[in-house]
Amino acid sequence: MKYLLLKHYRGGPAHFVDYGSMDQWTPEEVDAHIQYMRDFAARLEETGEYVGEQALAPEGTFVRYDGEGRPPVTDGPFAETKDLIAGWMIIDVESWDRAVELAGELSAAPGPRGEPIHEWLEVRPFLTEPPTVTE
């Protein structure tokens, strides 16, 4: 099964230090974090569990349709919500438990002072077939 791991800019649990965004880290701390991500992806490539990944810029805008002949409506960005997506990774694993295990490991990526940042990751399974509609 394929799962999407979404990395959120939310900080860690309340009892851990909020390490802030990477633009507040030293270049060495950013490099260590990125290398952890690369090493993690390389390990998953070896096991056949890696599909793809991409970091995302913090800027973004919500867009929606507003009716025939009208321009799309935009709203955002929402930096104040602290619930922006930092990036994503797609994995292909045997079970939900394995997906959760890998997300937990990815959450331990280092931040300032080399400490695990306890980053929140959202684990979302891919739809394998359209939902069934019952009347």
pLDDT, residue 7, reads: 87
For 52, counting Cβ atoms within 10 Å of its Cβ (0-12 exposed, 13-18 middle, 19+ buried), the class is: exposed
Q: How many CB atoms lie within 10 A of CB 114?
A: 11
User: CA 81, 27, 110 angle in degrees (round to 5)?
Assistant: 65
Per-residue pLDDT reduced to its tens digit, 90-110: 999 999 999 999 999 999 999
Q: In a structure prediction context, what are the per-residue pLDDT tens digits for the chain, which is 135 residues long?
A: 999 999 876 655 565 566 777 888 999 999 999 999 999 999 999 999 999 999 888 777 778 888 999 988 887 655 555 467 888 999 999 999 999 999 999 999 998 889 888 888 899 999 987 778 887
Residue ranges per structural domain of the chain: 2-125
Looking at the DSSP bridge assignments, the partners of residue 3 are 91, 125
> What secondary structure letter does DSSP report for 131?
P
CATH topology of domain 2-125: Alpha-Beta Plaits (3.30.70)
pTM: 0.80
pLDDT above 70 as % of the chain: 87
